[in-house]
Structure formats: structure tokens, C-alpha cells
């Protein structure tokens, strides 16, 4: 495989996925916040809540279309750029994507049109039902996508079939109830809820600071404070660290995050700060909190958190075992009925992927030298400094979010949220934070899995399509220009919508009695 094609394919996937994931979290969270706001409207029958729902609905709509538009690329990118991946695991990986379309995206997309166009054609309760179905659809969508992604992290319920040269499903239930997928789902949708809460909180705070549309802003802020507090607690407490103790590769990810070069005596301490050194395999200037990591990662006092050096030794054993499997597969390609080869494959088949790591150094993995085996084993270590820092920044933002929403909740409960100027400013400045955390979270999950496309099964460098660099440059530049333009337009439209305010026409049809805007409304 051409290394340039591999790098460009990875770059394009990362760019399009990270870009797609700028819009999705807001959709996930805002859809449920719309349900909450509209429920209040249906229950209280007060027009202000209709205004609130419709206003945030407009922000939702502008954001939603880009989520859909960029999602198109994702659905087909496995085929266009990762065709060997698609062949190799399509039997398992394709199913959740198809079910996502059938069960979730149809629901979301069909009802989203009715949600925007149906205000005057449906009863209040029916419209609320439609809004709820949109929220349900978006969140089910996330569930199926994360079942697919969870399987890449922890490929359960499947084995390699030498007759078809691919992974095939043996236990679909295991794929569905994959613990890594479940943890990821809760973590990811909670992050989306936090993101939406921060947006609603921040924009409302901006209105309150400017003394504009106070009636809408103060109510929106209350919803955001409550929803945001619950979600930020959920995103941290139900973080997906619990899944990291499951398999060798997940253990490796955890070790890289912690820059744990060697297995520490249990219960292991949590490294808060340090500078990982890639040459000497040690972490300098470490600041550790004793016991905490062992507790989080293994949910016990005596479970060990493996270090990278020990995991590399294990990988080395599996590579050697995988070489036998690879040899057996070569025999079976020519002679599918060879019983001796089938028997060898039955014993070593689970390590086949490890032998394929050698393909970076040698055409035929069964002829690799011990030095090549050693190097391939060290390849199983992801980029430690990036993992270490991405995780820490993400986690720090997570804790900041809890503090932000706890404060917001307290202020709202005391009905002081309209006057606490310092807090309102803070809330406006917090708007970009969830996106930073979310994008870093994607990096931790996906870079942490490297060198694997499918953990322990298929190395990333073998998973690409057989394309040319020119083709990849064409699409990479094309997507960049298209996405860049759309991003500028979207941000401008959202800012214009915020400036324009919650009312369809420039004047407030129901001027508030208590909080008359300090500045005459001219936008």
C-alpha cells in the first residue's frame, strides 16, 4: 500500500468526521431541550414558551442541515476510502449502519420536516409528539453509530472465515450489547446534551447581559441549567473509562492516556500531570493521586492497570502466534479443504490481525525477522503525548462544565441568574469549550485505537482503498473548500439569528412588563 494514500485517507476521514461532529452533538442535545421547552408550552399553554421553542428550533434547524449534509459523506466514506475495511468487516459493521438508517434516521428526517412545517397543521400535543420523535430519532441514530464504533474498539461476536477472507458475525447479540458500545453511547450523547446546554446557557446569558428579550432568555437559561447539570454529571461519572480494562488494546489505550510505561502495583495512582518521554519510555515531573486510577479503571482495589511495556510483550507473543495463523490462511486460499491448516487456524486464528501488523515491514509476515516482530509489537503503542494531553484537557473541561452548571443551577434556583453579571460573562465565554472537549474525545477514542482500524483484527494501514494520491488530494481539497464555505455561512447565519432574536418579526409582539429592554430593539 502507498503510505501517502494511507496518510491522506486518514487525514480525510479525521477531517470529515471531526467536522461532522461539530454539528451532531448540538443536534443530539438541542432536540431534547426542544422537547422540554415545548412540553412546558403544552402544559402551561403560555405563548412565551412557544416563542422559546420556535426560536431554539431555528438555531436547531441551521445546525441540523449541516449535520445531515456532512453525514452523507460519512455513510459512503467507508466504501470510497476504506474499501478493504468494508470488505473485511462489512458483514458485522454494515448492519448497525443499515439499521441506523431504517430505525433512526428515517424517523428523524421524516418528522423534522413536519416539526418545522407543521406548527399550524397539527394540534399542540401532536406537534410535541413530532418533536419528541425527532429527538428520539437523533439519539437512536447515535446509538447505532456507536454500536458500530464500539465494535471497532472491541470486536466481539465475530470470527475470521478463511473461505471468504473476512470477519463474519457469530453472535449478533454480543455486537448489540457490547459493553464498550454502551459506555460510549451514554458518554457521547451526554456530551451532546452538555454542548447544547452550554449553547442555550451562553446565548441566553448574552441576551441578559444586553438586556434583550429577557423573558425568553431567563426561561431558556433555567432549562439549560437543569439539563446541563444532569448531563455534565452524567458525561463525567459515566465516562467511558470503565471499558478500558476489557481487552489488550483497550488496556493499551488506557496505558497511553496515563502514560503508564510499566504496570504499577495495584491500586494504581492517577497521573494528573507529567511529561511523557517517548525515547526513554518514562514520564517526568509526574504528579499522581494514589489509588484513583485503579478504582476508576478496574472498579476494584486489587485489579492491575497494565503498563505499555508489559502490553507490548503480550503483543509480541500474539504476533508470533498470528504468523502461524497467517501461514494457515495462505494454504487455505489454495486448498480450502486442507484439514491440517484448518486445525492450525483454529488454534491461532484469533491472532491473525497481529501478524498483519508485520506487513508494514515485510511482504510475507511468516518470514519476518525477530527484530521486525519487535518493531511491530511496539507499533501497538499509540501516540502517547497526544493521548495524554488530549485526555487531560477533555477531562478538565468536563469538570469545568459541572462547576459551570452547578453554579447556574444554584443561581437559577435562587432567582439570581439575571443579575450575576460575572456569571453571565463566564457563560458566554464557555460556549466553545464543549466543542473542544468533544473533538478531543474523538481523538482519544480513535487515535487511541491506532495502529488498528479494528482492534486486534485489521491494521489501519491495510484498510484503505487502492486509490491514487491525486484522487485523494482532489477530494481532500474539494471537501475542505466546500466544508469551509459552509462553515462560514452557517456561523454567520446562526449569529444573525441570535442578533435577530426570538421573535419572527423585529418587534416583540408581547412586550414584557417587568423587564423592558434597556436598549431599544432595532435588530
Partner 1 sequence: MFDYEILRLIWWVLLGVLLIGFALTDGFDLGVTALLPFVARTDAERRMVINSVGPTWEGNQVWFILGGGAIFAAWPFVYAVSFSGFYLAMFLVLAALILRPVGFKYRSKKPDPAWRSRWDWALFVGGLVPALVFGVAVGNVLQGAPFRIDSDLRSWYEGGLIGLFTPFTLLCGLLSVAMLVVHGAAWLAIKVEHGAVHDRARRFGTFAAFAGLVLFAIGGLWIAFGDIGYRMVGAADAFGPSNPLRTTTEQVAGGWMTNYGLHPWMILAPVLGFAGTALALAGIRAGRELMAFGGSSIGALGIISTVGLSMFPYILPSSIDIHSSLTVWNASSSETTLGIMLVVTVVFLPIVLLYTAWAYKVMFGRVTTQEVNTNPDFY
Comparison of 121 and 513: residue with beta carbon closer to partner 1: 121
Q: How far is the CB of 101 from partner 1 (least distance, A)?
A: 4
- Calpha distance 144→161 (Å, rounded): 25
For partner 1, which stretch binds (CB under 8 A), given 241-249, 265-273, 316-324, 486-494? 486-494
Three-state DSSP at 289 gives strand
Using rule CB under 8 A, residue 364 touches partner 1: no
Distance of CA 494 to the CA centre of its chain: 23
DSSP characters over 251-281: HHHHHHHTT--SPPSSSPPEEEEEEEETTTT
Q: How far is the CB of 229 from partner 1 (least distance, A)?
A: 32
Report which of 469, 442, 447 is spatially closest to residue 460, judged by C-alpha positions: 447
Q: Which residues 6+ apart lie within 8 Å of 152 measured at CB?
A: 93, 449, 453, 454, 455
Three-state DSSP at 323 gives helix
Size of the site for partner 1 (CB under 8 A): 75
Neighbours of 183 (CB within 10 A): 22
Residues 77-96, interacting with partner 1 (CB under 8 A): 78-81, 83-84, 86-87, 90-95
Q: How far is the CB of 376 from partner 1 (least distance, A)?
A: 18
Q: How far is the CB of 161 from partner 1 (least distance, A)?
A: 7
Strand partners, 270: 289
> In the set 486, 498, 517, 521, which binds partner 1 (CB under 8 A)?
486
Comparison of 101 and 211: residue with beta carbon closer to partner 1: 101
For partner 1, which stretch binds (CB under 8 A), given 21-29, 63-71, 201-209, 277-285? 63-71
> In the set 17, 36, 101, 233, which binds partner 1 (CB under 8 A)?
101
Three-state DSSP at 400 gives helix
For partner 1, which stretch binds (CB under 8 A), given 99-107, 202-210, 343-351, 447-455? 99-107
Comparison of 144 and 388: residue with beta carbon closer to partner 1: 144
Q: Which residues 6+ apart lie within 8 Å of 177 measured at CB?
A: none
Contact between residue 225 and residue 204 where contact means Cβ atoms under 8 Å apart:
no
Contact between residue 205 and residue 408 where contact means Cβ atoms under 8 Å apart:
no
Q: How far is the CB of 330 from partner 1 (least distance, A)?
A: 9
Using rule CB under 8 A, residue 44 touches partner 1: no
DSSP characters over 427-467: HHHTTTHHHHHHHHHHHHHHHTTTTEEETTTEEGGGSS---
Q: How far is the CB of 71 from partner 1 (least distance, A)?
A: 8
Contact between residue 352 and residue 325 where contact means Cβ atoms under 8 Å apart:
yes
- Calpha distance 9→4 (Å, rounded): 8
For partner 1, which stretch binds (CB under 8 A), given 69-77, 179-187, 213-221, 283-291? 69-77
> In the set 30, 35, 107, 208, which binds partner 1 (CB under 8 A)?
107
For partner 1, which stretch binds (CB under 8 A), given 111-119, 180-188, 264-272, 512-520? 111-119
Q: How far is the CB of 109 from partner 1 (least distance, A)?
A: 4
DSSP characters over 160-178: EETTTTEEEES-HHHHHT-
Comparison of 66 and 196: residue with beta carbon closer to partner 1: 66
Q: How far is the CB of 461 from partner 1 (least distance, A)?
A: 13
For partner 1, which stretch binds (CB under 8 A), given 112-120, 207-215, 409-417, 451-459? 112-120
Alpha carbon dihedral 416, 418, 420, 424, in 10-degree steps, equals: 130
Using rule CB under 8 A, residue 169 touches partner 1: yes
Contact between residue 415 and residue 232 where contact means Cβ atoms under 8 Å apart:
no
Q: Pull the grid cell for residue 211.
A: 438586556
For partner 1, which stretch binds (CB under 8 A), given 102-110, 215-223, 341-349, 365-373? 102-110
Residues 278-337, interacting with partner 1 (CB under 8 A): 333
Report which of 219, 208, 201 is spatially closest to residue 47, judged by C-alpha positions: 219
Q: How far is the CB of 173 from partner 1 (least distance, A)?
A: 10
Comparison of 95 and 259: residue with beta carbon closer to partner 1: 95
- Calpha distance 463→367 (Å, rounded): 22
> In the set 70, 298, 321, 324, which binds partner 1 (CB under 8 A)?
70
The conformation of residue 360, written as its DSSP 8-state character, comes to G
Q: How far is the CB of 38 from partner 1 (least distance, A)?
A: 15
Contact between residue 353 and residue 318 where contact means Cβ atoms under 8 Å apart:
no
Q: How far is the CB of 363 from partner 1 (least distance, A)?
A: 12
Q: How far is the CB of 116 from partner 1 (least distance, A)?
A: 6
x/- string (CB under 8 A) for partner 1, residues 124-163? -------------------------------------x-x
> In the set 154, 166, 253, 348, which binds partner 1 (CB under 8 A)?
166
Residue 258: exposed, middle, or buried by beta-carbon count in 10 A (0-12, 13-18, 19+)?
A: buried
Phi, psi of 47 (to 5 degrees): -60, -25
Using rule CB under 8 A, residue 111 touches partner 1: yes
Using rule CB under 8 A, residue 523 touches partner 1: no
Using rule CB under 8 A, residue 273 touches partner 1: no
Residues 437-476, interacting with partner 1 (CB under 8 A): 465-467, 471, 474-475
Residues 375-404, interacting with partner 1 (CB under 8 A): none
Amino acid at each position: 500500500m502507498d503510505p501517502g494514500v494511507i496518510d491522506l485517507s486518514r487525514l480525510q476521514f479525521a477531517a470529515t468526521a471531526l467536522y461532522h461532529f461539530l454539528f451532531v452533538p448540538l443536534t443530539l442535545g438541542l432536540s431534547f431541550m426542544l422537547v422540554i421547552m415545548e412540553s412546558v408550552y403544552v402544559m402551561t399553554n403560555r405563548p412565551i414558551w412557544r416563542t422559546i421553542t420556535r426560536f431554539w428550533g431555528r438555531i436547531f434547524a441551521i445546525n441540523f442541515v449541516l449535520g445531515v449534509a456532512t453525514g452523507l459523506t460519512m455513510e459512503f466514506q467507508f466504501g470510497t476510502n476504506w474499501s478493504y475495511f468494508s470488505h473485511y468487516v462489512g458483514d458485522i459493521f454494515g448492519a448497525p449502519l443499515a439499521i441506523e438508517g431504517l430505525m433512526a434516521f428515517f424517523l428523524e428526517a421524516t418528522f423534522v420536516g413536519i416539526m418545522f412545517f407543521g406548527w399550524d397543521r397539527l394540534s399542540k400535543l401532536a406537534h410535541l409528539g413530532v418533536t419528541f420523535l425527532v429527538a428520539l430519532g437523533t439519539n437512536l441514530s447515535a446509538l447505532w453509530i456507536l454500536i458500530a464504533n464500539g465494535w471497532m474498539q472491541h470486536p466481539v461476536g465475530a470470527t475470521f472465515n478463511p473461505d471468504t477472507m473476512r470477519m463474519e458475525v457469530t453472535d449478533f447479540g454480543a455486537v448489540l450489547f457490547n459493553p464498550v458500545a454502551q459506555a460510549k453511547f451514554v458518554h457521547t450523547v451526554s456530551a451532546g446534551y452538555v454542548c447544547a446546554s452550554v449553547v442555550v446557557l451562553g446565548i441566553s446569558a448574552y441576551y441578559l447581559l444586553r438586556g434583550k428579550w429577557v423573558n425568553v432568555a431567563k426561561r431558556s437559561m433555567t432549562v439549560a441549567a437543569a439539563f446541563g447539570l444532569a448531563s455534565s454529571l452524567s458525561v463525567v461519572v459515566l465516562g467511558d473509562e470503565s471499558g478500558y480494562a476489557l481487552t489488550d488494546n483497550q488496556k493499551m489505550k488506557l496505558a497511553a492516556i496515563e502514560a503508564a510505561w510499566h504496570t504499577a502495583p495495584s491500586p494504581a495512582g492517577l497521573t494528573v500531570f507529567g511529561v511523557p518521554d517517548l525515547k526513554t519510555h518514562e514520564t517526568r515531573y509526574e504528579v499522581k493521586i494514589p489509588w484513583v486510577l485503579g478504582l476508576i479503571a478496574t472498579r476494584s482495589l486489587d485489579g492491575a492497570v497494565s503498563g505499555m511495556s508489559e502490553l507490548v510483550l503480550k503483543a509480541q507473543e500474539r504476533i508470533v502466534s498470528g504468523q502461524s495463523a497467517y501461514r494457515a490462511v495462505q494454504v487455505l486460499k489454495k486448498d480450502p479443504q486442507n484439514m491440517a491448516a484448518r486445525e492450525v487456524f483454529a488454534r491461532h486464528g484469533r491472532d491473525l490481525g497481529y501478524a498483519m501488523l508485520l506487513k508494514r515491514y515485510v511482504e510475507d509476515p511468516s518470514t519476518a525477522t525477530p527484530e521486525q516482530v519487535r518493531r511491530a509489537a511496539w507499533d501497538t503503542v499509540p501516540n502517547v503525548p497526544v493521548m495524554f494531553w488530549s485526555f487531560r484537557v477533555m477531562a478538565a473541561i468536563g469538570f469545568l462544565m459541572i462547576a459551570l452548571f452547578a453554579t447556574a443551577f444554584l443561581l437559577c434556583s435562587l432567582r439570581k441568574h439575571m443579575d450575576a453579571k460575572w456569571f453571565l460573562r463566564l457563560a458566554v465565554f464557555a460556549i466553545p469549550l464543549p466543542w473542544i472537549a468533544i473533538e478531543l474525545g474523538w481523538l482519544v477514542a480513535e487515535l487511541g485505537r491506532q495502529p488498528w482500524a479494528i482492534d486486534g483484527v485489521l491494521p489501519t494501514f491495510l484498510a484503505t482503498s487502492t486509490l491514487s494520491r491525486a484522487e485523494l488530494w482532489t477530494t481532500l481539497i474539494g471537501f475542505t473548500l466546500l466544508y469551509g464555505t459552509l462553515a462560514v455561512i452557517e456561523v454567520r447565519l446562526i449569529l444573525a439569528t441570535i442578533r435577530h432574536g426570538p421573535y419572527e418579526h423585529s418587534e416583540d409582539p408581547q412586550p414584557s412588563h417587568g423587564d423592558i429592554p434597556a436598549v431599544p430593539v432595532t435588530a
